[in-house]
């Protein structure tokens, strides 16, 4: 079985943001990251969970969307990745061109919104 893929797309919409997409059970679980992923473990980035996208979207580019990074990832959280997302915490290791090493997504429900997560680079990874 091939390793799951990830893609980060730079999206010029009403506001410029990055879309983090992780392959989970045949779809791309997706988060909009306004400031983009950081490589500094001290940075906590807001990541707003959005609807899943079809796998074909991993290669999608247009005048307003371009692939900023892509590669594969290793889930670190035990058990199925979909279960970790449902529970609100996922650790994973990215193997991309720009992003490498450990990251974590944690549901933070900032402002009372369950779609709000934090994306952080894990220390030492």
pLDDT digits (tens, 9 = 90+) for 5-45: 999 999 998 899 999 999 999 999 999 999 999 999 999 99
* Beta carbons within 10 angstroms of residue 122's beta carbon: 14
Indicate the number of domains in the chain.
Answer: 1
In degrees rounded to 5, what are phi and psi of residue 81?
-60, -40
Grade residue 110 by pLDDT with cuts at 50, 70 and 90. confident
Per-residue model confidence (pLDDT) at position 125: 64
Which residues span the domain enclosing 82? 5-121
Q: Is the pLDDT of residue 51 over 80?
A: yes
Query: pTM to 2 decimals?
Result: 0.95
pLDDT in tens, 62-92: 999 999 999 999 999 999 999 999 999 999 9
């Amino acid at each position: 079985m091939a390793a799951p893929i990830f893609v980060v797309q730079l999206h010029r919409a009403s506001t410029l943001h990055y879309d983090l997409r992780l392959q989970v059970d045949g779809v791309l679980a997706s988060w909009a990251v306004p400031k983009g992923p950081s490589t500094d473990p001290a940075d906590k980035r807001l990541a707003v969970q959005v609807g899943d996208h079809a796998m074909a979207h991993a290669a999608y580019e247009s005048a307003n969307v371009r692939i900023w990074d892509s590669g594969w990832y290793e889930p670190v959280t035990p058990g199925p990745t979909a279960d970790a997302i449902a529970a609100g915490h996922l650790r994973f290791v990215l193997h991309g061109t720009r992003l490498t090493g450990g990251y974590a997504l944690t549901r933070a429900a900032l402002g009372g919104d369950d779609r709000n997560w934090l994306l952080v680079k894990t220390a030492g990874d």
